[in-house]
Amino acid sequence: MSRNEYMKNYMRNYRKTSPLYKIHSKNANESRRIRAMLKIKLVLVCKCGRNDLSILEIHHTNNNGSEDRKNRKGDKFYDDIIQGRRKTDDLDILCVVCNWEEQLKVLKKLHPLE
C-alpha cells in the first residue's frame, strides 16, 4: 500500500470514527463565517441591535444571493470575502429576523397582493 493510499484510508476512517473531527470542522467553519462577517462590517450588530453571533447572517442588498450560491459552492463564498476576491459593498450583516423582513419586502414588490 502506498503512502497516499494509506493516508486516504486513515483520514476516511478518522472522519467516520473520531468525535473530535466533527467538533473541529464545526469550529473551523464558524470561525471562517465570523472572519468573513468582520470583513464586511467591523462591528457585528444588526440594525435592530441584536449582536448574538449565532443569529447574524450575511445579507445581499442587491438580492443576488442565489447567484452567489451557484457560483461559490460551500465555504468558497466566505474564503473569497476573507481573501478580498469578492467585493463587500453589496453585503450587510443582519439578524435572521431582519434578513427575512428584507426578503419579504422584495417578494411583496415582485408579487403584490390584490
Q: What is the pLDDT of residues 25-84, one digit of tens each?
A: 778 888 899 999 999 998 899 999 999 988 999 999 888 888 887 888 777 888 999 999
Instruction: Report residue 45 as a C-alpha cell.
Output: 450588530
- pLDDT computed for residue 7 by the predictor: 92
Q: Within 13 Å of residue 90, how many CA atoms lie on the same side as its CB?
A: 9
Report the alpha-carbon distance of residue 81 to residue 39 in Å, rounded.
7
Report the alpha-carbon distance of residue 40 to residue 49 in Å, rounded.
17
- pLDDT computed for residue 65 by the predictor: 81
Whether residue 40 contacts residue 91, with contact meaning beta carbons closer than 8 Å, is answered with: yes
Q: Is residue 24 scored above 80 in pLDDT?
A: no
Taking residues 93-108, what's their average pLDDT?
91
Write down the pTM of the prediction. 0.72
Nearest to 86, CA basis, from 108, 71, 103, 66:
71
Banded pLDDT at 114 (limits 50, 70, 90): low
- pLDDT computed for residue 98 by the predictor: 94
